Amino acid sequence: MIFILLILSVVAGVLLGKYFGQKEKFAKNLLILSAGFLITICLNEVFPQVYASDIGNLGIFVIGGVLLQMILEALTKGFEHGHFHHHNENSILPMALMVGLFIHAFIEGIPLANETNPLSPYLLGILFHNLPISFILGAFLFNRTGSKASYPSILIVALFALASPFGMLLGNYFNPDWQPYFLAIVGGIFLHISSVIIFESNKNHNINWSKIGLVILGVSLALMMHLFHDHSHVGHHH
């Protein structure tokens, strides 16, 4: 079930990007909304879980996640937060993009090992986060002038769609004691991506009410999921 959801979130995003890819504002709004959602998942779900474990110095792994994401962005050119400015399309090598996005999604999939709840906030965070990235990917791959749905494009989409499920599969074979480390790394990745999207400076630093509204909406959605999840887990201990 979770596998299917992960793949569907990418396919849905790519199709939206293919058909609505010209609407850059739509992609940006989707990104801002998902950033509000992600940062809340980060602070409400990921970090409490990370710090609830008895392992010391996990903060180093969070910082590691931030640094890893910075390195990946050298490959993807900031694709994850909507940087698909048309002037540098040629500088985004599909190979580097593929590697960067694959590693990113693969690592995010690892903490999903042994997850059975399709409504887990962490999973929803990833699904939500996949949508805008896939939207941009679809717009980038299938909307360029003169680009047909070529095999490389389909391959990139397929690899990105399978990266998180693959991470999840592999995560089942890892020592469960490693889980907090992976979660900490993903926490760092989420933190970096969402804060870059949220804090990217507005033009002239004017207050952008629609952006603030979208962030608040994303935060509210994540909080609702958090409360719903907590409520449904009363008596369970995870």
Residue 76, number of CB atoms within 10 A of its CB = 21
Expressed as residue numbers, the domain containing 135 is 2-21+28-229
The answer as to whether 235 is a domain residue is no
The answer as to whether 56 is a domain residue is yes
The answer as to whether 49 is a domain residue is yes
The answer as to whether 238 is a domain residue is no
User: How buried is 180 (Cβ within 10 angstroms: 0-12 exposed, 13-18 middle, 19+ buried)?
Assistant: buried
The answer as to whether 90 is a domain residue is yes
**Domain tally, the chain:** 1
pLDDT of residue 87: 41
Amino acid residing at 5: L
The answer as to whether 129 is a domain residue is yes
DSSP secondary structure string for all residues of 14-54: HHHHHHHTT-HHHHHHHHHHHHHHHHHHIIIIIHHHHHHSS
In contact, 189 and 69? CB cutoff 8 Å: yes
The answer as to whether 195 is a domain residue is yes
In contact, 198 and 39? CB cutoff 8 Å: yes
The answer as to whether 51 is a domain residue is yes
The CA angle 38-41-47, to the nearest 5 degrees, is 120
Residues counted in the chain: 238
pLDDT of residue 162: 94
Per-residue pLDDT of the chain (238 residues; tens, 9 = 90+): 888 999 999 999 998 888 887 777 787 888 889 899 999 999 998 999 899 988 888 999 999 999 999 999 888 877 777 665 544 555 556 778 888 889 999 999 999 988 888 888 889 889 988 988 888 888 877 766 445 556 678 888 899 999 999 999 999 998 888 889 999 999 999 999 998 888 876 666 667 888 889 999 999 998 888 888 777 665 444 4
Q: What is the 8-class DSSP label of residue 85?
A: -
